[in-house]
Structure 1
Amino acid sequence: MAIIAQLSDIHLAAGRDGRVDDGSGPVRALRAAVSSLLSLPARPDAVVLTGDLADGGRPAEYERLHALLSPLPMAVFPMPGNHDDRDEMRRVFNDHPAVAASGLTPQAPVQYAVDVAGVRLVCCDTTVDGHPHGHMSRERLAWLDETLSAAPDTPTVVATHHPPFPIGIRFIDEMRFVDPAGFASVISKHPQVVRVISGHVHRGAVGSLAGIVSTTCPSTYRQLFLDLTQPGRAAVTGEPAGFAIHLVENDGTATTHFVPTGNYRPLMDVE
């Protein structure tokens, strides 16, 4: 069994002086998330970061992020969101060959596949330069199809920043994954895909794509207000920050848990 942790929408932000304040909310929140991960009885085999890692795509934001994640003993796999700068992220996280190899040209998509305890994690780049919405071009879809075809018998988790299903929150759906049909058509060809996981929403949500369970992840920082009315209010709430844990068995069985940040201890044993 592979245990994959998902952290998302961290939004580390540098100030006018170009530095990230260690007392800022995003920094404190990320430290709490890392501590929570390390307190789990079964530690994850890997951590995937599903975008919006930095708030402004500045070098100092990625450098501080890399340092704050350094206590994690497992591999950490970053991917960009609409707030990120691909080249700055790749420069700082070049300690993993798959991430470094994805940058053959400036601002090339950050997309790669890695093995995690017998399960394949395929990280896609859905970002569109200068825009908040998501999209995968023909070239990116061709890469995904070829990558999935290379390991048809290995249970696979596909990760994106933008979720390929509607959320119901108006302003998030306005920044949606545009035209997810092409993405769905590729996924539907590969039955080894057992889960599609995304960020962007700052909430845990469950949907489906091509018959595959698809989930979004809580933010390690702030959660969005669940207003399903139209036009709805764009706001953040005081709900706990969190992350997701994905369990994938070798037979392809997959389970997702949404975990609030905090070092929780058992109150009592139950039978």
Structure 2
Amino acid sequence: MAIIAQLSDIHLAAGRDGTVDDGSGPVRALRAAVSSLLSLPARPDAVVLTGDLADAGLPAEYARLHALLSPLPMPVYPLAGNHDVVDALRAAFDERPAVVASGSRPGAPLQYTADVAGVRLVCCDTSVQGGASGCMDDERLEWLDAVLAEAPEKPTVVATHHPPYPIGIRFIDAMRFENHDVFAKIVSGHPQVVRVMSGNVHRGSAGSFGGVVCTTCPSTYRQLFLDLTQPGHAAVTGEPAGFAVHLVTTDPPGTATTHFVPTGSYRPLMDVE
């Protein structure tokens, strides 16, 4: 079994002086998430960062992100969100060969694969530089179809920033990535895909799309107000920050379970039978 943790929508922000204040909310929140993750009885085999890692995509923001994640002993795999700048993000994780190899030209999509304890992780780039909405263009979709065809027997998790399925929050669904219908056909054509994990929503959710269970992750910083009315109210709430933990079986292959974990120090209160 592989255990994959997911942190998302961290939004580290540099101030006017170009530095990230260690006392800022996003920094304190990320420290709490890292501490909570490390306190889990079973440590994850890897951590996936599903986008909006920096607020303005500045090198200083990514440098601070990298430093704050340094206590994690397991591999960390980043994705770009609509707040990220792919080249700066790629450069910050230059110790990950797959990340560096993903781009041979400026602005190339940050897309790559990795093996996590017998599970294949496929990281897709749905970001559009300078825009809030997502997109999987023909080049990215062809890449996804090809890499999924390379290992049809291996349990696979696909990661994106923008979720492919409707969330029900108006302004989030307006950012749903273009060609999500083609994405669904590709994923459904590769039955080894056991989960699609996404960010952008700033809260946990689960849905089915293309015959695959899809989930979104709480933000390590702030959660969005759950207003399912139309047009709805775009706001953040005081709900706890959190992250997700995905369990993917390899023997037998083909099942996945997702847990949403609030950040904080939670210890057993009593033993139960």
Q: TM-score, normalised by structure 1?
A: 0.99
SS in 1 for 2:226: coil
Q: Distance in 2 between matches of 1:191 and 1:175?
A: 27
Q: Tell me the residue number matched to 1:47.
A: 47
Query: Within 5 A, what are the aligned runs for 1:152-191?
Result: 152-191=152-191
CA distance in 2, matches of 1:193, 1:4: 15
1:196 aligned partner: 196
Give, in angstroms, the shift of residue 239 of structure 1: 0.2
| Aligned match of 2:71 | 71
Query: CA offset at residue 176 of structure 1?
Result: 1.5
1:81-96 matches, within 5 Å, as: 81-96=81-96
How many percent identity over aligned positions? 76
* Other-structure match for 1:257: 259
Contact in 1 for aligned 2:125/2:161 (Cα 8 Å): yes
**How far apart are the structure 2 equivalents of 1:261 and 1:88?**
28
Question: Pairwise mapping of residues 218-233 of structure 1 onto structure 2 (< 5 A)?
Answer: 218-233=218-233
Q: 2:139 matched to 1:139? A: yes
Q: Is the 8 A contact 2:137 2:179 kept in 1?
A: no
CA distance in 1 between partners of 2:122 and 2:182 (Å): 17
Counterparts of 1:211 and 1:184, CA distance in 2: 8
Amino acid at match of 1:259: V
CA offsets per residue over residues 160-187 of structure 1, 9 Å max, x none? Answer: 0000001111111111122311101110
Task: Give the partner amino acid of 2:215.
Answer: T
| Equivalent residue letter for 2:65 | L
- 3-12 vs 249-258, greater mean Cα deviation: 249-258
- Residue matched to 1:269: 271
Distance 1:175 1:151 in 2: 31
Q: Matches of 1:185 and 1:178 in 2, distance apart?
A: 14
The match for 1:238 is 238
Offset, 1:263? 1.6
Give the secondary structure class of the aligned counterpart of 2:244.
strand
Runs of 4+ in 1 over 4 A off after TM superposition: none
Q: Any idea what the Cα deviations from partners look like across 1:181-233, whole Å, max 9, x if unmatched?
A: 11011101100000000000000000111110000000000000000111111
How many residues are paired up?
271
Gap regions ≥5 residues in structure 1:
none
